[in-house]
């Protein structure tokens, strides 16, 4: 996506608008104490009349209110990070989960002209009709119903006009504010605002790529090819671009509409089991899963009873090696092998800064023991996963983004299952997979492949070792071998040594002054004051002052 340069005046207005909202909710110091405030006219840098009233809300409530008032880009930011307990405290996560897309439909939006210009067609050559009123409106796009000439019902997902430019301009402001927050606010530093904005930028750019969404839909369909329990919407590529998607209209019942399901003679409990089975298959078999399986994105087709997922803009991908690690993690969790769990977490983590390994072991042991002591029918995977995310956050372990998407997806899908069937338990769906993982781990085929892989690694090492040794020897001969090492605590040692040497020098000076003064006094060297040599007396006074100064510096915790 090409970079978008915002005119200076427009940029100033955006900063001013941002400051006005921040001031309204008691966050004006964010910009006042930063260089950004210099860009804003002084008329905007005044206290907002509603600030006092809004301060009655908690800090996290006010953050959520700020995002809501700033508009779609900021609401999207909050929604994306509503599942990132690795980066944000639980209290803020609860507030972000309340964010919803309340986006009004576009005014004066010429739907027909937009479709014709985007697809370079005449609408009547392909469509019988297109509904000019949207059936859904979100922060990035509007959805319109249409019917092709052959009678197929479709939906047209159309990006909002100039949405890329709006997002790019909002991102520019977000980056500036994030840098200011990290520089001037100690409280904000813990939230890692710069990292949050960078991650958001990547996510929002991916969601704007409609061609990518079409690819996701077709890949998802291919994974479930031949499975009669699921239906995937057909994508009409010839009528789609990177800003417009034309796909099959799904005339189904939302999975949350239990009364309608019963009216259509569809058993909600059966839907719960099949739907969760399909989701677990996405994760453990395909390694490609729907990252936002909320009830609005899952439909049941009344005629066939098939389950249909929609909206493939946010998908999670698990690499083959990571799938095996996740399987191992599940097994060690069941066996309560805490050491192995920590090893695996460190292996797949993006970043670890564990302050206390004993605390991490204790936290994980309490989590695992709590699960094993709970009756199988009472286990709630959502609660366990939320506790797990809290353990990661408190112990400063950051996992790859797809894992948080996976955890969030499992929590949502379990909630959907329990709504359909109060007696639903996701562990029943997981049991066949855990058994299969155990069989696979100890199968002769896997052991053979693993040992073969290790043998190949050893063989590769033997092949490359002579060349590596020759390269090292050549560098030694040419005098080009450089060894880089770091002395831990060297700076502190230098400082302590410098202090010691300074004190030693002063001690020598004091001793010399004392000895010299004594010689002058004993020799009664003139000039004399009341029979006492003046120079000798001065020397004793200086010695006493310097000695007293050294003693004081020592008692002041080595500040000398």
Are both 244 and 175 inside the same structural domain? yes
* Reported confidence tier of residue 143, pLDDT bands at 50, 70, 90: very high
Identify the domain containing residue 173 by its residue range: 103-191+207-249
Is residue 145 located within the same domain as residue 180? yes
pLDDT, greater one: 516 or 130: 130
- 245 and 266 co-located in one domain: no
pLDDT given at position 470: 77
| Residue in the structure block whose two tokens are 């003693």 | 551
Task: Write down the pLDDT at residue 560.
Answer: 46
What integer pLDDT is reported at residue 83 of this predicted model?
A: 62
Kindly state whether residue 468 falls inside one of the protein's structural domains.
no
Same domain, 67 and 116: no
- Euclidean distance between CA atoms 412 and 406, whole angstroms: 10
Per-residue burial over 532-545, b if 16 or more Cβ lie within 10 Å, else e, is ebeebbebbeebee
Residue 115 has pLDDT above 60, yes or no: yes
Q: Quote the percentage of the chain above a pLDDT of 90.
A: 23
119 and 218 part of one domain? yes
Q: Return the higher-pLDDT residue of 186 and 301.
A: 301
pLDDT in tens, 144-176: 999 999 999 999 999 988 888 888 888 888 887
| Torsion, Cα of 369, 372, 375, 380 (10° steps) | 80
- 483 located within any domain: no
Domain assignment present for 431: yes
Q: Which residue has the higher pLDDT, 491 or 292?
A: 292
Q: Are residues 418 and 386 in the same domain?
A: yes
Measure the CA–CA gap between 249 and 156, rounded to whole angstroms.
9
Average pLDDT, the chain: 79
Q: Which residue has the tokens 């922060």?
A: 139
Q: How confident is the model at residue 266 (pLDDT cuts 50, 70, 90)?
A: very high
Domain boundary, last residue among 403, 426, 442? 442
Q: How confident is the model at residue 219 (pLDDT cuts 50, 70, 90)?
A: very high
Which residue matches tokens 């110091």? 29
DSSP for 43-94 reads GGSS--TTHHHHTTS-HHHHHHHHHHHH-HHHHHHHHHGGG-TTTS-HHHHH
Percent of the chain surpassing pLDDT 70: 79
- Most trustworthy range by pLDDT among 178-187, 311-320, 368-377: 311-320
Domain end position, chosen among 178, 206, 234: 206
Q: Is residue 426 a part of any domain in this protein?
A: yes
Out of 79-93, 216-230, 274-288, 300-314, least confident range? 79-93
Same domain, yes or no: 154 and 260: no
**b/e sequence 144-161, b meaning 16+ C-beta within 10 Å:** bbbeeeeeeebbbbbbbe
Q: At what angle do helices 426-441 and 320-335 cross, to 10 degrees?
A: 110
pTM: 0.66
Say yes or no: 96 and 110 in one domain: no
Residues 275 and 299 in one domain: yes
Same domain, 154 and 215: yes
pLDDT for 110 beyond 80: yes
Q: Give the whole-angstrom CA distance, residue 125 versus residue 21.
A: 48
Is residue 235 situated within a structural domain? yes
The tokens for 273 are: 């089991």
pLDDT for position 522: 74
Residue 228, pLDDT score? 93
Domain count within the chain: 4
Question: d(Cα 81, Cα 200) in Å, to the nearest integer?
Answer: 8
Residue matched to tokens 């004392």: 514
Q: Residue 223: exposed, middle, or buried by beta-carbon count in 10 A (0-12, 13-18, 19+)? A: middle
Highest averaged pLDDT of the listed ranges 274-278, 348-352, 519-523, 532-536: 274-278
Q: What is the CA radius of gyration of the chain?
A: 34
504 and 386 in a single domain? The answer is no
Among 103-107, 211-215, 459-463, 482-486, the range scoring the smallest mean pLDDT is 482-486
* DSSP of 361-378: HHHHHHHHHHHHTS-GGG
If asked whether residues 241 and 342 sit together in one domain, one would say: no
In a domain, 467, yes or no: no
Q: Is residue 1 part of a domain?
A: no
Q: Would you say residue 84 lies in a domain?
A: yes
């Amino acid at each position: 996506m090409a970079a978008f340069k915002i005119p200076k005046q427009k940029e100033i207005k955006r900063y001013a608008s941002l400051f006005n909202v921040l001031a309204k909710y008691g966050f004006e110091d964010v910009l006042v104490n930063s260089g950004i405030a210099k860009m804003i006219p002084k008329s905007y840098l005044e206290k907002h009349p509603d600030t006092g009233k809004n301060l009655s809300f908690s800090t996290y409530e006010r953050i959520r209110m700020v995002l809501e008032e700033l508009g779609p880009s900021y609401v999207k930011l909050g929604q994306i990070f509503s599942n990132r307990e690795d980066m944000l405290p639980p209290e803020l996560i609860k507030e972000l989960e309340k964010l919803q897309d309340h986006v009004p439909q576009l005014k004066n939006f010429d739907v027909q002209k937009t479709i014709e210009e985007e697809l370079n067609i005449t609408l009547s050559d392909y469509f019988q009709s297109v509904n000019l009123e949207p059936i859904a409106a979100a922060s990035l796009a509007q959805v319109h119903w249409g019917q092709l000439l052959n009678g197929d019902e479709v939906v047209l997902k159309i990006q909002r006009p100039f949405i890329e430019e709006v997002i790019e301009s909002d991102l520019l402001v977000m980056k500036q504010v994030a840098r200011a927050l990290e520089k001037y606010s100690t409280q904000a530093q813990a939230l890692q605002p710069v990292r949050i904005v960078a991650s958001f930028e990547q996510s929002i750019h991916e969601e704007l790529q409609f061609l990518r969404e079409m690819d996701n839909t077709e890949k998802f369909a291919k994974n479930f090819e031949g499975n009669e329990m699921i239906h995937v919407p057909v994508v009409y590529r010839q009528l789609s671009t990177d800003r417009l998607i034309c796909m099959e209209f799904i005339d189904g019942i939302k999975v949350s509409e239990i009364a309608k399901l019963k009216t259509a003679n569809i058993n909600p409990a059966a839907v719960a089991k099949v739907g969760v089975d399909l989701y677990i298959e996405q994760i453990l078999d395909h390694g490609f899963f729907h990252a936002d399986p909320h009830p609005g994105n899952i439909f049941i087709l009344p005629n066939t009873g098939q389950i249909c997922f929609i909206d493939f803009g946010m998908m999670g991908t698990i690499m083959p090696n990571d799938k095996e690690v996740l399987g191992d993690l599940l097994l060690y969790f069941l066996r309560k092998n805490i050491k192995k769990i920590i090893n695996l977490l460190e292996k797949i983590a993006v970043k670890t800064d564990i302050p206390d390994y004993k605390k991490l072991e204790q936290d994980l042991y309490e989590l695992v023991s709590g699960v094993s002591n709970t009756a199988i029918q009472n286990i709630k995977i959502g609660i366990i996963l939320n506790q797990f995310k809290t353990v990661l956050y408190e112990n400063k372990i950051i996992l790859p983004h797809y894992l948080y998407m996976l955890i969030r997806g499992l929590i949502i899908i379990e909630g959907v299952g329990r709504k359909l069937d109060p007696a639903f338990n996701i562990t029943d769906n997981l049991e066949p997979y855990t058994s299969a993982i155990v069989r696979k781990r100890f199968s002769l085929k896997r052991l053979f492949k693993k040992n073969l892989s290790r043998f190949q690694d050893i063989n590769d090492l033997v092949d490359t070792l002579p060349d590596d040794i020759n390269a090292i020897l050549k560098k030694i001969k040419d005098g080009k071998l450089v060894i880089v090492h770091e002395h831990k605590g060297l700076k502190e040692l230098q400082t302590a040594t410098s202090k010691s040497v300074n004190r030693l020098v002063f001690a020598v000076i004091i001793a010399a002054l004392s000895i010299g003064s004594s010689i002058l006094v004993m020799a009664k060297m003139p000039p004399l004051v009341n029979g006492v040599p003046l120079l000798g007396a001065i020397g004793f006074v200086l010695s006493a002052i310097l000695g007293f100064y050294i003693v004081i510096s020592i008692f002041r915790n080595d500040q000398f």
